[in-house]
Amino acid sequence: NFALCWTASIPLIYYAAELKQYSMDVLVAAILVLLLLRVTKSGLSPWWLCVFPLLGFLSYPVFFLMFIPLYVLWPTKKIVGVYLGLCALMGIYVWSVDLRHSPAYLLETYWHDYFISFISLPEFFKTLGEGINNLIARWFVEIPKVFRAIARIFVGIGFAYMLWQGWQGLRKRSAMNVPMIALLVLIELLILGALRKFPFTVPRMSLFFAPMLLFCLVDAFSWLRQRYPKLYWPLQAALWVYLVIMSLGIAQEIFHGNLGAQSVIWYRKE
């Protein structure tokens, strides 16, 4: 399922083929997930997590993903001290060579429509809803809209599973798993969007979140297979059909040389 989700995702394919920072964001998020799972489940030394802040040389989202390993490292105070020191050094370095030279107004100039708004209560729910919708429905295709609507059903199952299992894991202080990591990332995205520091409603800016959410989709379907097999098989068959149709549509676009970040598939303007 996960491999098929990747081959059916236009943003993941498009940015993986381009030399842009978005594919590097996906890579460093994958490294974080791998390190957290190996440390908590395979006995890998927690010292390996101290490598993660150094990836700030490669990807900006590292700087707000840095706090997630503290969930695992907190009992080991010595490692926490070293880890926080590396985070501070990376923060100072990036501020000195980059951020202090970047005009602060540029964030509002280019992305002012992509934050959570507090102008009014309706505007808050509107912008929050748009952000959540982008995180659920736009990892496959933009047009035809019916395909995007279908994605809401499948990815929505993974999103609901992430909220449920992620919260249960955090509440019980369980060993780190993908739903817990994804939920922590979602919380940070919402906080930064509310503080107008990160335009998380722009799909490519939060592309690193897509593989985590798609993995939660796979986990959700595995859970359904164990608990509700009569519901699982029709859903699984429908998901396979959807992903195959999407993959064939993307292949057609590639052969015609038309693939873009949010390409149109199975549709031609006369």
What are the residues whose beta carbons fall under 8 Å from the beta carbon of 270, sequence distance 6 or more? Answer: none
pLDDT greater than 80 at residue 161 = yes
Provide the Cα torsion 217, 222, 228, 231; round to 10°: 50
Which amino acid would we find at residue 60? Y
Place of tokens 């490669």: 58
Distance from C-alpha of 251 to C-alpha of 45, rounded to nearest angstrom: 42
Q: What is the mean pLDDT of residues 113-139?
A: 85
- Residue 167's H or E segment, with its range, is helix 145-172
**237 has pLDDT over 90:** yes
Closest residue by Cα to residue 189 from 77, 76, 20, 25: 25
State the average pLDDT for the chain. Answer: 85
56-83 pLDDT per residue, tens: 888 888 888 888 999 889 888 889 999 9
Question: 148: which residues sit within 8 A by CB, 6+ positions away?
Answer: 137, 138, 140, 141, 142
What is the C-alpha radius of gyration for the chain, rounded to an integer number of angstroms? Answer: 19
Q: Average the pLDDT over 103-125 and give the result.
A: 77
* Residue 129 binned pLDDT confidence (cut-offs 50, 70, 90): confident
More confident site: 265 or 7? 7
- Residue 130 one-letter amino acid: E
Let me know the angle formed at the C-alpha of 214 by 132 and 198, rounded to the nearest 5 degrees: 40
Instruction: Give the model confidence (pLDDT) of 1-58 as tens digits.
Output: 888 888 888 888 888 777 778 888 899 999 999 999 999 888 889 999 999 999 988 8
Contacts of 12 (CB under 8 A, 6+ apart): 6, 26, 139, 207, 210, 211
- Between 110 and 238, whose confidence is greater? 238
Q: What is the pLDDT of residues 222-234, one digit of tens each?
A: 999 999 999 999 9
Residue 264, strand partner residues: 143
The per-residue pLDDT for 270 is 38
Q: Which residues contact 57 (CB under 8 A, 6 or more apart)?
A: 90
Q: Could you give the CA distance from residue 38 to residue 169 in angstroms, rounded to a whole number?
A: 17
DSSP H or E segment with residue 184: helix 178-194
